[in-house]
Copies of this chain bind each other. A is one copy, B any other.
Amino acid sequence: MGINKYEEIAQAAIKLFERKGYHATSVQDIADEVGLQKGSLYHYISSKEELLMKITQQSINGFNRRMEKIIESQVSSKDKLILAIQHHVTYVARNMEMTTVLLREAFSLEPDHHKVIKEETDRYLKLWTTIIDEGVQADEFKPGDSRLIALAILGSANWLHRWYQEGGKMTPEEIGNYFAQIFLEGIKK
């Protein structure tokens, strides 16, 4: 904190965008949060939207980077899926504010910027379907619609940003495990 002012500003923006929403957060709010005058912010940023863009980009990149490593790893498809769920869930839980901004505010980006984020999220989805398709081919998963399955899992895992609270009775890792188990085994006795 303090070393890199841009980072400090981005952190303030993440916090405020999460709490109030992008449009309801004023540049003044961000300036107040970092203790600068409104105008002084513009030494570091070129626009409020640039901040949102950087934040969402950083967020989706974090998801993609982890997922690519999992895909490249030498384990069974089932284990890849378990890892993917665990990683997604813990990443959301450990970056709640940033994830919320990505999931809720990215659509406020200007069309050009939004397109870039959209492409990255599409890529992320594809990485999920790859794992599932491979698992089906390896006879590890039931045949099915891999995109629908991926969307079901991602829905569950993303939803975490709406209810997870640090200090609850389960750790993110435990939640990830549980989610993995649900999707693999189902809840029926």
Contacts and interface: CB of A to CB of B under 8 A. Distances in A.
User: Per DSSP, are chain A's interface residues mostly helix, strand or loop, or mixed?
Assistant: helix
Interface in A69-93: 78
A77 B107 CA distance: 38
A179 interface: yes
Interface size, A (range) = 35 or more
Copy number in the complex reads 4
Contacts of A163: 151
A21 B145 CA distance: 32
A36 interface: no
Interface stretch (A2-10, A45-53, A54-62, A180-188): A180-188
Contact of A178 (B148, B153, B186, B189): B148
Contacts of A154: 159
Interface string A125-142: 000000010000001111
